[in-house]
Amino acid sequence: MKEKIHPAYHETTVTCACGAAYRVGSTKKSIRVEICANCHPFYTGSQQRIVDTAGRVERFKRKYGMK
């Protein structure tokens, strides 16, 4: 590999909205995600959670007149 053309590779913390944190390698210092393997419905089986960030569901319902 050529020297001095690749970005720095760090051990990074990925933080989910549910509170789970994972250590991975990345070129970024920290990563924040809304859904991870801890809270995604596919991985949790029949348990389903709705992640509503900043009232997006209510805003959508108001915008399109759904009650």
Domain count, the chain: 1
List of E strands, 1-67: 10-16, 21-26, 30-33
Rounded to the nearest 5 percent, the helix, strand and coil shares of the chain are 20, 25, 55
In tens digits, the chain (67 residues) has pLDDT values of 688 898 888 899 999 988 889 999 999 988 998 888 778 766 666 555 666 667 777 888 888 886 6
Q: What is the CATH number of the domain that holds 46?
A: 4.10.80.400
Residue 2 resides in a domain: no
Domain of 46? 10-63
Q: What integer pLDDT is reported at residue 45 of this predicted model?
A: 67
Q: What integer pLDDT is reported at residue 28 of this predicted model?
A: 92
CA distance 11 to 27: 8
Residue 50 resides in a domain: yes
Q: What integer pLDDT is reported at residue 48 of this predicted model?
A: 56
Q: What is the pTM of this model?
A: 0.53
